[in-house]
Amino acid sequence: MTNDIARLLLRVTVGVMILFHGFDKVINGIGGVKYFVASTGVPEFLAYGVYIGEIVMPILILLGAYARVASLILAFNMAAAIFLAYGNALFTLGKHGAPSFELPLLYLVMSILIFMLGSGKYALNGK
């Protein structure tokens, strides 16, 4: 039971926190994401994938519906965010001494943990 509660807590934490990022992009647009995507030579329309990664996938993770698949897609989204936003300054430190890409790295690791652990029994398709 404790493991299932821990899985639920992990899913809720990641899902809610990423949804804040997604809602911000719905409200304020994805101009910054488009800029980063276009600056790498990748087609700009791929920036719209951020809505899938930061709105759809967190909802699935929260619900525990195909959470393993959703967490892999979220992990890819976070890896892309790290590459696009911090690629040139990957090994720089922030003003408090942590790596500059600390937050997206935490989401990347947490989404990999959801993939590895699964949803648990407190999920739509939990076991």
Question: Given this model, what pLDDT does residue 5 score?
Answer: 95
Sign, CA dihedral 86-88-90-94, equals negative
Residue by residue, pLDDT tens for the chain (127 residues) are 799 999 999 999 999 999 999 999 999 999 999 998 998 888 999 999 999 999 999 999 999 999 999 999 999 999 999 888 887 776 788 788 888 888 999 999 999 999 999 999 999 987 6
For 4, 43, 51, 67, 112, the CA distances from 29, given in Å and listed in that order, are 36, 17, 10, 26, 27
d(CA 119, CA 67): 6
pTM: 0.90
